[in-house]
Amino acid sequence: MPLLSVNSLQIRYGAVEAVRGIDFEINQGEIVALLGANGAGKSSTLNALVGLVPVTTGRISFDGTDITDFVPERLAPMGMTLSPEGRRVFGTLSVEENLRMGAYAIRSRDAISEAWQRVYELFPILYERRQQYAGTLSGGQQQMLAVGRALMSNPRLLLLDEPSLGLAPKIVEQIFDLIGVLRDQGVTLVVVEQNVGMALEIADRGYVMSGGRIVSSGSAAELSQAGRLQAAYLGAE
Ligand SMILES: Nc1ncnc2c1ncn2[C@@H]1O[C@H](COP(=O)(O)OP(=O)(O)OP(=O)(O)O)[C@@H](O)[C@H]1O
């Protein structure tokens, strides 16, 4: 059974049909890239998976449970979290407080301390800066904080929306290295990326969206073949 199954997912914002009935599956332990030009519907899809935007029609199931209308507060304890696009950290809270917010569903102090420790091991710079306001971090550090916050609930499925956006090449490499480390730790990952080359280097499989539909899918090697991706990107919208 796949860890996540999406069936005939449709998302509307008023008259705008952002996602037009898509089907896909994510298996335990995979890294899956979700690719496509701006406006293709990738962020809407991720946001719907974690209950941040309502599903118009269709079904989503996670680990065998129908979660279609679940709110994020219910999904995090089940093991699915999103690191949103645009490093949405709370600038006037400290690094530590930002991370604490990712563990809102965890009651035990020990479990929260363990989560902090786990994240600080992955991102030593966040430990160094733990008392600093998040707003004073560099872009790369804020991105690490956004990913770290999503990791605080110890997810089994982590959704990353454009983790490399606007970052210097060296930091992008660190973020992609981290994705590999997380996979080795048993986390299943869905990665929305504009950096198609790097995404397909690390992913097992991918789906390509255009105009709210999945227009291509396959192994990373298949999608890397010339032609298939270009057609989807150039033909977008
Ligand atoms: N809150 C909203 N209200 C109205 N329309 C929206 C809203 N959010 C997204 N859209 C529209 O839905 C479509 C899909 O947007 P979405 O952000 O999901 O695409 P995307 O593939 O993630 O693109 P990007 O990389 O630019 O974020 C676009 O036409 C966008 O303008």
- Residue 171 has what pLDDT? 83
- Residue 102 has what pLDDT? 87
Below-50 pLDDT ranges, the chain: 236-237
By most ligand atoms within 8 Å of CB, the mutation choice from 9, 42, 165 for ligand 1 is 42
Q: Which residues contact 90 (CB under 8 A, 6 or more apart)?
A: 97, 98, 101, 134
- Residue 50 has what pLDDT? 93
By most ligand atoms within 8 Å of CB, the mutation choice from 43, 208, 210 for ligand 1 is 43
Q: How far does the centroid of ligand 1 lie from the alpha carbon of residue 44, in Å?
A: 6
Measured distance CA(237)–CA(235) in Å, rounded: 7
pLDDT tens for 72-107 read: 888 988 999 998 887 788 999 999 999 998 887 777
- Residue 198 has what pLDDT? 87
Measured distance CA(233)–CA(237) in Å, rounded: 9
Q: Which residues contact 4 (CB under 8 A, 6 or more apart)?
A: 25, 26, 49, 60, 61, 62, 63, 80, 157, 188, 190
For the CA of 194, the closest atom of ligand 1 is 25
- Residue 224 has what pLDDT? 86
Alpha carbon separation from 188 to 4, 31, 54, 159, 167 (Å, rounded) = 10, 6, 23, 9, 23
Measured distance CA(46)–CA(25) in Å, rounded: 13
* Residue 101: HSE in the Cβ half-sphere, 13 Å Cα cutoff: 16
Measured distance CA(81)–CA(75) in Å, rounded: 7
**58 residue type, one letter:** G
- Residue 60 has what pLDDT? 97
- The rounded Cα 222 to chain-centroid distance in angstroms is 22
**Contact indicator for 237, 41 with CB cutoff of 8 Å:** no
The b-or-e profile of 73-86 (16+ CB within 10 A means b, else e) is: eebbebbbbbbbbe
Tell me the two tokens of residue 57: 């029609």
Helix 139-151 to helix 169-184 angle (10° resolution) is: 10
Cross-strand pairs, 80:
157
- Residue 227 has what pLDDT? 63
- Residue 98 has what pLDDT? 94
- ipTM value, please give it: 0.94
pLDDT tens for 208-217 read: 999 999 999 9
For the CA of 212, the closest atom of ligand 1 is 14
- Residue 233 has what pLDDT? 66
- Residue 107 has what pLDDT? 78
List, chain by chain if needed, residues with CB within 6 Å of any ligand 1 atom.
13, 16, 18, 36, 38-44
- Residue 228 has what pLDDT? 65
